[in-house]
Each structure stands twice: as structure tokens, then as C-alpha cells.
Chains A and B, each alone.
Chain A
Amino acid sequence: MAGGTPRVHYLAGFSCPLGGLAAGKPRVLCHEADVFLSTGSEFVYVYDQEGGLLTAVYRFPDQVWHLQLLAPRRALYVLCARRGIYCLSLDTPSRSVSQANKDSEEDELPYPVMPVDPDACVLPDATLCAFIVLDDMLVALAQGPTQWKMQLFEHPCLGEDPQPGGQIGEVELSTYTPEIGIPGKPTAPHFLPVLCCMSLPGSRAPHGHPQACGGFTLEEALFGLLFGADATLLESPVILCGLPDGQLCCVALRALVTSRSAPGDPKALVRILHHLEEPVVFIGALKTEPQTEEAVESELSSMEVHSDCLVALGHHGRTLAIKASFDKSGNLVPELQEYFLPGPVLCAACGGGGRIYHSTPSDLRVVDLAQGSIPLDPQQPNRAPGSLPPTLCPTSLSVCSVLTVSVSPRAPAGETELLALSAKGRLMSCSLSPKSPGPTRMTSASADRKIKELLSGIGDVSERVSFLKKAVDQRNKALTSLNEAMNVSCALLSSREGPRPISCTTTTSWSHLPLQDVLTATCLLQNSGDFSLDRGWTLCIQVLTSSSALDLDAAGSAVTYTIPVDRLGPGSQREVTLPLGPTESGVLDLPVTVSCALFYSLREVVGGALAPSDPLEDPFLEEHALDLLPEQEGICLPLSRLTVDMLRCLRFPGLASPHTQAPCLLSPARDPVDTFLEACCGPSSEPTGPASLRAKYLPPSVASIKVSAELLRTALEDAHSGVPLCSATLQWLLAENAAVDIVKARALSSVQGVAPNGTDIHLIIREVAVTDLCPAGPIQAVEIQVESSSLADMCRAHHAIVGRMQAMVREQAAQSSSPPDLRMQYLRQIHANHEALLREVQALRDRLCTEDEASSCATAQRLLQVYKQLRSPSLVLL
């Protein structure tokens, strides 16, 4: 197994931007003693492992996205973003480099930076996203406007007269949705497609080191099974392509030759093998079955491993492995197994003996697909010896944030050496020995080495620790916050009776603004519990206006204010004041309901912990993790609810004592009717005045409610004992109004107020005796009369009073007091009258809908009369 602690050596450090390198584009290749490396910037570095120094740095015109080495030709192919593919010869580095400005400005650097000559571009194409070089051919993947295009070129090498073109085949792969970017400006894709070449053993597709060339040799059975009889017969290499949308498709290279005028038919050429449903980051092949001795020898001699398992890794860790096996009847069938490795996978590489190394931001891990070959459990005889393991257990190698990894071919037999580039721009080699060496006697030389190893180990561990610590801190914070939120919720929800630990009281008041007086609601959030409300809590105040009485169809509007509660410790309080109206047009649709609730946003608190703090984990992950939380996910705790009705909003300018009266109490917008009447009267009829005219032509609308005195007395006796009943009733009605103190002080039983829009409202309360109702004699009752010149305001006030009455009656009904004996006949009569009136209302309203203007006027008149009758019932609330 690959266990044992790896020995990590730091080889070199490379410049890296603030916040670390981005995953996906860096590459590391190893050829003999040279390491070729790109960090995703525009540089390609050549590092000499033996000398331990950089030998060359090439600068390209744009970011480098992919490197590939063609060892037999000693050529390095480089994909430069938005430029195309460049070819550098390893033998004569100066040839492909423009000499002119070499060493001119980079004096401070210890190594020469060589700008690459534009002539070294063998395939200029701005849309290329991936390529793979085979012996004499090059396969490139270009991003068309809507589709991926696979193109085949021949002999793209440095020649005396390099030719563009030479394209001998093209086929369109699947469609893709273009990423949204700035129009006209090509954006860098977040995930590049992955290409990989699979060939048959013995076919003439010589690779120096197949993996360095992105190629693998597959066993015949698996090859034939995956790619078909035609590809097998022709011994054609097959290009596997993993796309960012998760599609895994393959194209037989020999079939890709098409005439220039006509691209190949995708249905005939492209075979879709699988869909990973997440960006494919790696495709490779492995040898999972144990080799026989001869096989080992023959393979050693041919330097070729015939892989029997195809693997593909997705960005989020979904892993696919395919093997060929025979079913019971002897048919060749594919054995397909999907695994879920911890993601996000930044890079991966195939090692010897069925091992896949894959890196996540937090760790480099290894899984062994060959473990299935060894029958672990003798109790499971059903499993064929060569089948894939049902699950994979990743073993940690304790190296974090590796962006690209490659298996070095130079490792001594039995050992594995990985070359890796970390997010901090450090190139390291990681040696894995199959078994840890036993204790040996320490010589001074070995002690020296040992110390170096320990030191580099410490460096690696510290990098890892700082990363992990950050992650842990964040999660801890989120957990603490969640815990407090749970406490608060429990406390609020469990204390139904008694004072709540967190309360919200709402009061209303009029405030004077330069242009207009505004009714404001003040919500006072008090925390009398033991917990503090922390980040993530929001106070939500919903203001719901009733639909306008004049416009029956309009629904009421609701406005929700959200106020973040930023640390509300025990015992502290916060006040929020909101305007309720009237709006600019002077409208205040009463009643208005103000509901307060506390909202705890999981997204805000947990999202932070789920979201990566590390730039390594690309922004996609953040979206992905947060997608798990629905938009509105959170805890909502209702606190209070208040209905602001007319009685609350009434103002009594006449009551205010001169010194407390605001100097400029807004004289409400002048009633247009008054203006009109005034104009009508003219100067001559001065003494009559508009008031008398109004009284003559526009009598105030009146509504009244009668309540039995006994009912009121019992209801009010606690609060208002010793006060005359009429005055007590008025006090009760105006309990929430600011004027209640004056009413109390003067023991008023009638009061003249002003509605929000400025019309007068007269509340008159008097004691009456109702005679006809009860056989036992007259019933003492209190009549509450509302008068207003505005019908709408009178209705609102009436509605408010009725609302209070209903509440009171409901309360009193609980302590049932027997009603006096009533004259049923009389009651029935009244009831029948009312029903007739209601029927008439219905009929009139129906007529209103259908009639024309002239007759509807009369109908409306009649309707108003009926309503008036209805508002003055002869009934008494008992």
C-alpha cells in the first residue's frame, strides 16, 4: 500500500499572486532530470532536479493553460490562452526565443526570462482550450460559438516553413452554454476540457512516456468494449474527452479524418461513454489486476503498462471506473462503478498498481482500485477476483492544497515519487515508499538528511495547520452562533405565558415634519433574557395596509422592513421608528397592521462556514454549497402584532392645552367642499358662512352603537372605577391615544378630533334607556355616536369602535353573565328588517355594476341611505 509517511522535499518556490494560485491551469511535467512547470501565469519554468535550480523561464504572450512534452521529438508543446499552441524545442532553446530583448529588463532575476518568439506558434487559434500531441498528429479542442469542436492536425512541428492548417479532420462534440462574460471579450473558462489518448497494445503509437503525453495503453478487451470493433480492427488510438459539463465522450482517431469541406458526422464519430454531471478534471487508466511474473517482465521490457481500468474524476469527487469483465454466459460486459470521493478535486494522477492520487484543498489523498483484486473477505465468494472494489477508502498523504501533481518516472523501483505544485507556488517532490524503513543506525550523513527531511516536513505541516485552523475557526463560530440561535428560539417559543425574554412593543405617534405630519410607529425590541442576539438575527417589521374602502378590488399593500440586529446583549434594547403614512398623496389607509418578528438567517451564518475561506476552492464551490440552503432558509419567531386604527390616530387639537399645543399643528389640507361653498356664498351672504351651508346641504354622516351599561360597567370596572360611565367609555376607546390623559383629567364624555387626513370626527357618548326591548323594563345603555363630515372617516372610526366592542364582548362572554329577559318578537322584527336591508344592499350593488352613469347615481344615493340605516341599529349590545 501507499501508506507510510511521505517524505516531502521542497524543490523551489515560484511567484504566486496574493491569495494563492488558482486551480485548473497549472501543470507539472517531468522529463529526465528536467521539470517543466507552469503556474497558470504566462511563464513556463524549466527546473533541473539534479542541479536544484531553474535553468530557463519562457514568457508567453498570455496565460499558459496546458503543457505537453513529446519526448521522442524533444519538443514541448504549450497552449497559450487566446493565442494557440506553441512548440519549443528542448535542444536549442534559443531558436524559438527571440534574442532581441532577452535579458534586457529582467536583470534582477537570477535566471534569464526568454520571451517566446511568435514564430514558435504552430497552431494559432484563439479558441483552443485543450490539446494532445500524438506522434505525428495533434488533436485540439476548440470552443466554437455554441459547440466544442475536436480538430485533427498533422505534423504540427517546428519546420523551416511552418504551415497553419494541415487540418485533416474535424467533428463537433456536444453543445455547451457559453459562460456569461463581457460581450466581445473572451473570458477564461473556469474549467478546461480534459483530453486523453487511449491506444491498443502493440499499435504503432509510440509514446516516450505515455502518461507524460497524456496517453495510456488499454488492454484489448476493455478497448474493444469501450470503443467498438472498428477502432479495434484498425488499431486506432482513441481520444477521450472530458468536458466541463461532465460529458465523457470518445472519438476514434482514424475515423476523424474528414474532408475539409465537410466536418464529420458527430453521430457516426462521437460516442458518449458517460456523463459525470460535474466538470471532468481527470481521465486516466490503471492496472488493477495483479500481474503474472512473465507479464511483469514483458511489460518492463516494453516499458508499457496495459491498463485494464479506465477512470474519470469529476470536480466534486464523483469518480467513474470501468473495467471489462465476462458475464456468466461468457459475454464481454463493461463493469461500471461510481465512487464519491471527497471534493473538490483540484487535480489527480494515476500511479502504478491501481492507485489514484487526487488532491483537494485540504489534503492529497490516494485510493487504491486494485484492492478489489485481492479477495479481502473470504466470506464473499460471489465477487469475481478481478472486480472493482465496492467502495474506496482514501488514505491521506498529509499534503495540502496541491494544484497539480504528476508521477515522476524517475522513482526507484517499488517507490513512487510525486511532483506537486502547491497553491503557494511551491514545487515539491513527495516520495512514498511502500514500507517505512526500519530503524537504522544513524551516520552523520544520514542524520543530516534526516534533519532536512524533518525541517521540510515541519514546513509542510505548518502550511497545513494554518489552513485547517482557519477552517476550524470558521466552523466553530458558526456552531456557536447556531447554538445561541437555538437557545433564543427555545426561550421564545416555550414561554407562552408570562413575560417573554425578548419582546417587541410598538407605539404610534404623530411627528411633525416640515411638509406634513407623519404617523410613525416605534418598535422597541427589548432583550430581557440571558442570551444575546448576535450576527444573523434580523428584526422584520411588516406593515400591512388594508385595502382602500373606495377601491374594492385593490388588495392591501404590505411593506416589510428588515433591520439587522447587530449584537443585542442581555438587558439592552433597540428602538426602530418607521413612518406609516400618510403617503405623499395624503392617503393613510386605516387600519394598518404592524407585525414584528425575529428572523435568523442560516444562509448568513452557516453559509460563511460552508463557503471556502481559501481562494483555492474556487468560487464555484461557494455557489454549490450555498445552493444547499434555500433562499429563505432560516428561523422566524413572531414577536408582536399591532393594529393601528382610526381611534389611535385621532388628534385632538381642541383639547391640547395652549402651551403644549404645537405651534404649527398642520392645518389639514383645506376641504375642497368648504372652498367650494365659500366661493358659492360670495361676500354678500357672509353671515351664513360655509359651516351653516354645509350643515344644510351636507349633513355629517352619523353612526351609532348602543351598548348595555351593565356590560360596559363590568368590563371597565377594573380600570375606570369611580369615573362616570360615559367618560370611562371614552377613556377606554382612546386608551392608546396620546390624548387619553387629557380626557381623563377633564372627565370628558364627548370629544372633537381630527382624522389623519384632516376631517373632523366627533365622538359623543351618552347614557340612554332602551325601552322596547325588554319586558322587565327599560335597559340602561350607552350610546356611542360618531359624526364626521367625511363618510370614509366616519366609517373608519366606526369600524375601529366595532372592533373594540367585539373584543370586549368576546372577553366578557368568557365570564358569562346572563342577559336580561328579552322581547323575542321585537328582536325578530329588527332582525327581519336588517335582513331586508342587507338584501337590498346586495341588489343595489349588483345594479351598480350593470347600470349606466345616470341611473347609477340614483342607485348610489339609495345605497348610501340604506347603509345609513344599517349604521344606526336599534339593537343594544348586552
Chain B
Amino acid sequence: QSRQRVLLGGCLDLWKEKNDRLVRQAKVAQDSGVSLRRHKLVQDTLEGLRELLHILHGLPAAVPVLPLELTVTCNFIILKVSLAQGFTEDQAQDIQRGLERVLETQEQLGPRPEQGIRKLWESVLCASSLLPKLLCALHHLAGLQAALWLSIDRLEDLALLLQTLNGNQNGASKDLLLLLKTWNPPAEESDAPLTLQNAQGLRDILLTAFAYRQGLQELISGSLPRALSSLHEAASGLCPRPLLVQVYTALGSCLRKMGNPQRALLYLIAALKGGSPWGLPLLEASRLYRQLGDTAAELESLELLVEALSTTHSSEVPQPLIEVELLLPRPDPASPLYCGTQSQAKHLLASRCLQMGRAEDAAEHYLDLLALLLDGSDPRFCPPTSPPGPCMPEVFLEAAAALIQAGRAQDALTVCEELLTRTSSLLPKMLQPWEDARKGTKELPSCPLWVSAVYLLQGRAWVQLRAPKEAISEFSRCLELLFRAIPEDKEQGAASNCEQGCRSDMALKHLRAAALISRGLEWAANGQDTKALQDFLLSVQVCPGNRDASFYLLQTLRRLDRKDEAAAFCWRLQAQTQLSLPLYLEIYLSWIHSPDCETFLEEFQTSLQEPHDL
């Protein structure tokens, strides 16, 4: 038997050496730069670990070998996870296998596997009190189990495991952060097999990841003071640089929402000092300046943001370790810490310029954006569209509106023309509507809303170019479409999915009103008051909430000295309602808005009321 022991001891040394060699190899691979060679080296290491594990599993579980076996299991899992950049079901099985091996050494067979991993951990940790040699390796494995559970959001199991690891004081708090802090994995002995990442390292990473997750959740759910403390916790922990930038940005966002813009700014500056990625803090800074009303600074940060996103941040070599990022949920667009692509930033910049009245800048930015999108030479440049944002045709329309706003009507016409040619195959055949009318077909062709909007903007461009004839014909075409065509459902392929629901309904009403008012104004300018009056009247009927329509109607009626009608109409005046319309439509409505609309309407109403009072 002693010979057997000597033999086993020899093998044990051999296996330990192999493990140590593989771990060193993985660490060397990490330094050898980004290349396929490196990838291959890591893959080979993984294969080596798998083989070693296979050998160890082939023997009956024995207490002297188990610390090594568990360490190899941990190394294997760590390398596999870092290579695949995430946990999978395989890792859960690897851990379970390790636990079952521990139980095998105990005479009692322990719980059956179907009793679940939680029970398994309980009995293993219970048994481990008899096996102090195993404790270190078991804490290591527990760290991996904790990481796995954190990554798949099984926080209750995680809390229970930590309670057991901490000695299971009754009434121990369920606060995971506290549990993680009190967890003190035993230190490795000097002659223990090498590990890629030890239990203490795992603990620190878990602590940071959990604090950040929790902080982010609290930030989103609005419990700001708690978010602040969690995020502070994350920032004070072991934090790689890119993550620190995120944490600082989140802190900035939290403080901004709490009404502390100056402190928020300090954190954002700290985040920017942290180096790339700069996108997040810059986006947050633009929000901050917007809240403060500092347009110049806001736009400047957006410009910087566009620039920051254009540089491809060199992808960091993933370490053969489990890193904090692996344990975080993937950012989704709804998160406050979501910084989109370059084109989305560019679009944000352009639209903010347009909204803030910087038409020239807006036009330039829009033209840049369109050029980059349509050129397509840079495969990294993708359309800025996503469900909350506008769809591509709307970007075109916004660009045209910006150009008109900037006084570049000819360019606006070109943009509109480009949009129409590119989508010509999609448009219904109703562009020859007269034929259909002759045939007497009852069914109306459907057409996306934006097609009519193109004609509307074209008309406006002609107005700017002082070509009333063309303008009126474009407006008429627009109206023809708007009144004959029903906006398309979202099921129809040609429509973009963002055009739907009540937004499209409201937009349709206001588009009609805008087109009618625009044409009416042109008629009026040409002295054709009756036609103008007709259009204004129709616009009021189409969209009763539009104050401008009422204004023009009343003004025209007054000019024509038809006071009674005006008075009769005035009683039906409605208050302006606040609504969200597509940006291009908002801009358009601002063009036909008369600055003295409200004063006029008020005066008119009081002048009507006076005789009644008498």
C-alpha cells in the first residue's frame, strides 16, 4: 500500500506540474498580443486542461488528489468562460461534477444529483468541515458558482451560498453586498497548484460587479440616493478602467437627476480623464448641459461625441480571467448608459441643432450624415434608426427641413428628389391617380405618410424660391395624397415600423392642416381670397386644435369683412394641445406659425365679448 501511495504521490506531482505549466502558458499567451497565434495558444491550453481533468476524473475520487482536481476544474472553467466571454450551461455542469466528486469521497453518498445544485453545495460545505485541506479549493469553486449565479441573476441562491460560506450565522442579513464583503476565502498555501485567478480575486470582482449592477438598477428605477451609495461602492472597488468610466458616468447621471449638476460635472470630468471610451461621459455631459440650458456646451459635447465614436476603440485583449464585464447584463438601448453608434450621435447632434435654431449647422450635419449613409463606403456607419428614433425617410425629411430653414431651398429640393427616386419602386402606382379616378375604383391606395411630407417640403422650398405656381402644384399633390390615401399599416412592407399608432394619426391631421394653410397662404398672396378662405376653413375642420389655422381663417374673414361668420366661428375656438410630432413636421409648423397669432386671437375674442357684455 505504501508503494501505491508513493506512486500516487509521484503522479500527483506530475499532474500538479502539468497544471502549473498550463497556467503559466495561459498567462504567457495573454502577453503575446492580439493574434490568431494567441488564440490558438489559449485554445491549446484549454485543451490541455481538459485532458488533465479527464485523467483526474478517470480515477476514483480521493481526498489527497481532490484539491488539485478542484483547482484544475476552476482553471478550466475560468479559461473557458474568458474565451467564450460568458457563462453557459456547461460551466454549471462542471461545477456540479466537482461537487459530486467531493461527495464521492465521503462514505455517505449524499444527496442525489436531482436534489439540485443548492442542496449539493450545502452537503459539500457540510462535509468540507471534515476536510480542511479542501477548503481553499472549495471556496475557489464557490467563487465561480457565485459568478455564474450572478451572471444569470439567481441572486437568492447566491445569497444562500454566501451565507453558508460565511459560517451560516443565523439571522445573517440577506444583503448581498454585505455578504460579499464579509466573505473571506482562505489564503492559498505556498505549495498549492497555480490558479489563473484566485478566490480573493473572484470575490473582489463579484463585489464590484454586484455593486454596479445594483446601482444601475436603482438608477433606472429612480431610487437615487441608494443608487449613489451602490455606485460609490462599485467605484471604490477593483475596477478596470473602461468600467470605471461607466461607473463615473452613472454617478454623474445620478447626481444630475438629483439636482447636483456641479458634482455631476466633476464625475464626468473624472470619467473623461479615465480614457476611452469617451462616448458615455460625453453623451451624459450633453444631457447635463441641456438640462442647464447651455446650448453651446451641449452641442459641443455632442460634436465631441460624434468624433469620439468615429475612432474605433481598440478592442482590449481579453485576459484569461473572469472580468467584471462578464458578470454585467448586456446594455440595452433603454438604459441611461447606452451610447449608440456614431450615426445615432450625428443624428442627435443635427436634430438638436435644428431644434435650437442653428439651421446652418443642422443642415451641414444632416448633409454629412446622409452622405455617409448613402455612400456606404464605411461599413461601420449604420443608419441611426431604431424604434424610438426616426426611420430613414424621416431623416431625409429632417435634412430637407433643415436646408429650407437654412435658406437652401435648392438643396432641399435635391434631397427630396433623391428620396423619391430611391423609393420609387415602392410607391403605389397611384402616382397617376387620374387614371384610377376614371376607372372609378373605390379602393384607395395606401401610401406611407412620408411621401406626402416630401411634397409638402418641396412646396415650401418652391415658396422660398418664389415660384408660387410650382409651390401650389406641390401642395395640391400633397393634399391629393393625404386625402385620398390612408396611412399604411405597419404590416405593409413599404412602411417603416416607426410610423404607426396614434402618432401617425396626429401627424396625418397636422400634415393636412399644414398643407392646406400653406396653399391657402399662397392663394392669399396671389390675391385669390376665396380659394384661400376655402383652404383655411378646411384646415380648421381637419385639425380643430391647430390655432394657426383659426388665426388665418379669422384674419381672412376679417379682411373680407365677414365679421358675423368670424364671430360665429370664434366661439368654437379650441385651446392648443401639446403633442409630439415628427421633428420635420414641428419645424414646418413653426414656419407657418404667425408670431402674433395668440395676441390676435385673444384680442378678437375680447372684442367679440364686449358687445355682449353691454
Contact = CB atoms under 8 A, between A and B. Distances in A.
B56 to A, nearest CB: 15
Nearest to B96: A183
A228 B332 contact: no
Given A165-B34, A225-B494, A234-B376, A331 B445 contact: yes
Contacts of A183: 89-90, 93
Nearest to B424: A220
Majority-rule SS of A interface residues: mixed
A329 B445 contact: yes
Given A162-B35, A262-B330, A232 B382 contact: no
A447 B93 CA distance: 68
A330 interface: yes
Given A184-B93, A229-B448, A265-B333, A163 B425 contact: no
Contacts of A259: 339-341
B48 interface: no
Interface string B431-468: 00000100001011110100000000000000000000
Contact of A161 (B35, B89, B90): B35
A813 B243 CA distance: 98
Interface string B497-513: 10000000000000000
B606 interface: no
Nearest to A166: B315
Nearest to B44: A118
Interface string A128-165: 00000000110000000100000000100000011111
Contacts of B427: 332
A285 to B, nearest CB: 16
Contacts of A124: 36, 39-40, 43
B430 A330 contact: yes
Nearest to B88: A145
Contacts of B333: 262, 265
B39 A254 contact: no
A255 to B, nearest CB: 5
B425 A220 contact: yes
A121 B383 contact: no
B140 to A, nearest CB: 20
A235 interface: yes
Contacts of B386: 265, 268
Q: Which of B277, B381, B428 has the most CB of A within 10 A?
A: B428
A227 to B, nearest CB: 8
Interface string B239-280: 000000000000000000000000000000000000001000
A477 interface: no
Interface residues of A, number: 57
A255 B436 contact: no
B391 interface: yes
Contact of A229 (B34, B90, B382, B423): B423
Interface string B323-349: 000000011110000111100000000
A122 B35 CA distance: 10
A262 B496 contact: no
A254 B444 CA distance: 34
A262 B337 CA distance: 11
A547 interface: no
Size class of the B contact interface (CB-based, 8 Å): 35 or more
A260 B374 contact: no
B260 to A, nearest CB: 27
Nearest to A162: B36
B315 A165 contact: yes
Interface string A207-228: 0000000000001110111111
Nearest to A167: B315
Contacts of A256: 382
B396 to A, nearest CB: 8
Given A118-B40, A183-B93, A328-B441, A255 B425 contact: no
B21 interface: no
Contacts of A228: 493-497
A165 B313 CA distance: 13
Q: Which of A145, A225, A259 has the most CB of B within 10 A?
A: A259
Contacts of B494: 224-225, 228-229, 332
Interface string A351-394: 00000000000000000000000000000000000000000000
B567 interface: no
Contacts of B374: 233-235
Interface in A245-282: 254-263, 265, 267-268
Contact of A330 (B376, B382, B393, B436): B436
Interface in B373-402: 373-374, 376, 379-383, 385-387, 391-393, 396
A224 B425 contact: yes
A165 B36 CA distance: 10
A119 B36 CA distance: 7
A20 interface: no
A136 B379 contact: yes
A268 B340 CA distance: 14
B94 interface: yes
A329 B393 contact: no
A845 interface: no
Interface in B539-558: none
A229 B495 contact: yes
Contacts of A106: none
A230 interface: yes
A169 B341 CA distance: 11
B36 A331 contact: no
Contact of A232 (B396, B423, B430): B423
Nearest to A186: B90
Contact of A224 (B332, B396, B423, B443): B423
Interface in A803-862: none
Interface in B479-529: 492-497
Nearest to B422: A233
Interface in B73-96: 86, 88-90, 93-94
A642 interface: no
B9 to A, nearest CB: 30
A784 B151 CA distance: 82
Contacts of B441: 328-329
A255 B376 contact: no
A233 B423 contact: yes
A168 B379 contact: yes
Contacts of A254: 376, 379, 382-383
Nearest to A263: B330
A403 B379 CA distance: 36
B379 A257 contact: yes
Q: Which of A164, A226, A229, A333 has the most CB of B within 10 A?
A: A229
Contacts of B376: 204, 234-236, 254
Contact of B392 (A184, A233, A326): A233
A87 B496 CA distance: 38
A327 to B, nearest CB: 8
A334 interface: yes
Given A232-B423, A262-B330, A329-B428, A164 B36 contact: yes
B436 to A, nearest CB: 6
Nearest to A185: B90
Contacts of A122: 36
B393 A163 contact: no
Given A184-B90, A220-B425, A225-B494, A233 B419 contact: yes
A121 B35 CA distance: 11
B240 to A, nearest CB: 13
A223 to B, nearest CB: 8
5 contacts: A165-B315, A183-B90, A219-B425, A259-B341, A329-B441
Given A124-B36, A332-B493, 4 more contacts: A154-B379, A204-B376, A228-B494, A229-B495
Enumerate the 9 nearest inter-chain pairs by beta-carbon distance, A residue then B residue, closest first: A220-B425, A330-B429, A257-B382, A329-B443, A224-B426, A225-B493, A230-B392, A145-B88, A329-B445
Interface of B: 34-37, 39-40, 43, 86, 88-90, 93-94, 277, 313, 315, 330-333, 338-341, 373-374, 376, 379-383, 385-387, 391-393, 396, 419, 422-430, 436, 441, 443-446, 448, 492-497
